[in-house]
Amino acid sequence: MRIAFIGDIVGRPGREMVKKYLLKIKKEHGIDFVIANYENASHGFGLTAQNANELFSYGINCMTGGNHSWDKKEVIPLFKTHEILRPHNYPEEVNGTGCKVYEISGEKLAVLNLMGHYGMPYTDNAFKCAKTSVTSLQNDGIKNIFIDFHAEATSEKRGMMMLLQGHVSAIIGTHTHVSTDDFQIANGTAYLTDIGLSGCRDNVIGVDSKVPLRNFLTGLKEHFDIPKSCKKILQIAIMDFTDGICSQAFKLKYFDNEKVVRNEAWLEE
């Protein structure tokens, strides 16, 4: 199966890039299933029902979340009606789930959403949750397992790779909005510390730079805003899974000036 992942769709600019390019990408590259992170999709904070329906209409099959999953309270009933996840290591009492299994062309794919600890809200241990969840999935005969690890610390993301390489098909990081240059396949597991945002690319992590700069200069915090006009980017990882092993992976960057950049994941010998 060939799956694709889009991380951190930020506001209207990110949604516009998904609308413009996703169906074209799916057709050109023969993608079977698309996962995307929604936690910043509605003006940078959370997800509204309207934006959820909008993004699914563009060809997304499943959406993962993070620390902003709860910013729009209308998301709560969507956990029951839409293919929307939240980090699985939130306590069991929290609405929704962070793990779902899908059937694609006769094969099963598990999507697991986890959240790190540094700088994040209080949750159960992500690493223990990962081990328990992966073992349970494997006991159910599920080999193809994709993880969106939503974390601030690169060390946590790399640690998750060291814990699970050879046991899952892919681990891709989200949350920092800044793409990293370490896409690789090791022991059959595709890994990328952070895929980077889809949205505005000419500011500070997708938001208008005025507020972050005032914060850096004065220490005073204000509400972040998404620019109404900006230069935009769509970042998408494409991976081939067979019997739980990732055999090929590459990342595409689509710019709003029609430029496309492709980066191949290297095979760790």
State the Cα–Cα distance between residues 244 and 170, nearest whole angstrom.
9
**Measuring CA to CA, how many Å separate 215 from each of 45, 164, 177?**
19, 38, 18
- The confidence score (pLDDT) of residue 105 equals 84
Sign of CA dihedral 109, 198, 156, 85: negative
- The confidence score (pLDDT) of residue 152 equals 97
Look up residue 54 and give its amino acid: E
The interaxial angle of helices 154-164 and 126-139, nearest 10 deg, is: 30
- The confidence score (pLDDT) of residue 269 equals 78
**Whether the Cβ atoms of residue 123 and residue 87 lie closer than 8 Å to each other:** yes
CATH code for the domain of 94 = 3.60.21.10
- The confidence score (pLDDT) of residue 213 equals 94
Domain containing residue 175: 2-267
Instruction: Sort residue 96 into left (φ over 0), alpha (ψ -120 to 50) or beta.
Output: left
Strands (E), the chain: 2-6, 33-37, 62-64, 99-104, 107-115, 144-150, 170-174, 184-186, 189-192, 199-200, 232-242, 245-255, 260-264, 266-267
CA dihedral (103, 36, 252, 183) in degrees, to 10, reads -80
Q: What is the pTM of this model?
A: 0.96
- The confidence score (pLDDT) of residue 221 equals 85
pLDDT in 10s for each residue of the chain, 269 residues: 999 999 999 999 999 999 999 999 999 999 999 999 999 999 999 999 999 999 999 999 999 999 999 999 999 999 999 999 999 999 989 999 999 999 998 999 999 999 999 999 999 999 999 999 999 999 999 999 999 999 999 999 999 999 999 999 999 999 999 999 999 999 999 999 999 999 999 999 999 999 999 999 999 888 888 988 999 999 999 999 999 999 999 999 999 999 999 999 999 97
- The confidence score (pLDDT) of residue 116 equals 98
State the Cα–Cα distance between residues 23 and 30, nearest whole angstrom.
10
Q: How many CB atoms lie within 10 A of CB 192?
A: 27
CA dihedral (133, 186, 141, 251) in degrees, to 10, reads 80
Q: Which of 29, 43, 68, 177 is catalytic?
A: 68
Report residue 43 as tokens.
């003006």
Has 68 been annotated as catalytic?
A: yes
- The confidence score (pLDDT) of residue 252 equals 98
| DSSP 8-state assignment for residue 212 | H
Report residue 115 as tokens.
């959240």
- The confidence score (pLDDT) of residue 160 equals 98
* Number of structural domains found in the chain: 1
- The confidence score (pLDDT) of residue 223 equals 85
